[in-house]
């Protein structure tokens, strides 16, 4: 096996599933490419505060990560979490506003890899192998959360990370 190859082996209900990802660039991440508009939409969130959140999904027909949904600056964290699918994986960035103990208004950007237990194994594999490339393109993320259920990304979890 070459250095640019990643093999994932999953065992589920006594079935062994093997998934091999070949990488033509030795230092690049494996998985899907990232659509150009993903970075632009992220920059709108980061610099212009045009969005509260951005949800990304893998478009298997295009072989790339694309923007699925954006949330307006007025949307709440509850709006964001309810926009994530219950049984499928997604990536997301969330612009978390908070007030420090010195009474200063601050903002930190969270990258959330949403991979619910109930999602398909194939989806979990695709999202696991494609995360690095997207994260690399989203320069300016402060914190990362890997969540398999809603309790792992509750608002209190974000608060604990920034304080």
Q: Is residue 149 part of a domain?
A: yes
Q: Give residue 124's pLDDT band: very low, low, confident or very high (50, 70, 90).
A: very high
**Residue 14 pLDDT exceeds 90:** no
Average pLDDT over residues 78-107: 97
In a domain, 38, yes or no: yes
In a domain, 154, yes or no: yes
**For the chain, percent of residues with pLDDT exceeding 90:** 79
Task: Check residue 54 and give its pLDDT.
Answer: 98
pLDDT higher than 90, residue 7? no
Strand 105-114 vs strand 53-59: parallel, antiparallel, or unpaired?
unpaired
The number of domains in the chain is: 1
CATH of the domain at 80: 3.40.20.10
Instruction: Give the residue numbers spanning the domain of 84.
Output: 29-162
Q: Would residue 19 count as lying in a domain?
A: no
pTM: 0.82
Whether residue 86 is contained in a domain is answered as yes
């Amino acid at each position: 096996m070459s250095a640019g190859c990643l093999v994932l082996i999953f065992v589920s209900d006594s079935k062994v599933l093997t998934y091999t990802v070949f990488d033509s660039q030795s230092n690049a991440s494996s998985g899907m490419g990232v659509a150009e508009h993903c970075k632009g939409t992220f920059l709108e969130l980061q610099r212009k505060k045009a969005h509260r959140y951005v949800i990304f999904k893998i478009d298997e027909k295009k072989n790339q990560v694309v923007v699925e949904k954006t949330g307006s600056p007025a949307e709440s964290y509850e709006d964001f979490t309810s926009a994530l699918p219950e049984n499928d994986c997604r990536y997301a960035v969330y612009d978390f506003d908070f007030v420090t103990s010195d009474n200063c208004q601050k903002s930190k950007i969270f990258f959330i890899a949403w991979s619910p237990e109930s999602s398909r194994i194939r989806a979990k594999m695709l999202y696991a192998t494609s995360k690095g490339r997207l994260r690399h393109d989203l320069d300016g993320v402060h914190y990362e959360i890997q969540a398999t259920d809603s309790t792992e990304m509750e608002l209190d979890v974000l608060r604990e990370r920034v304080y």
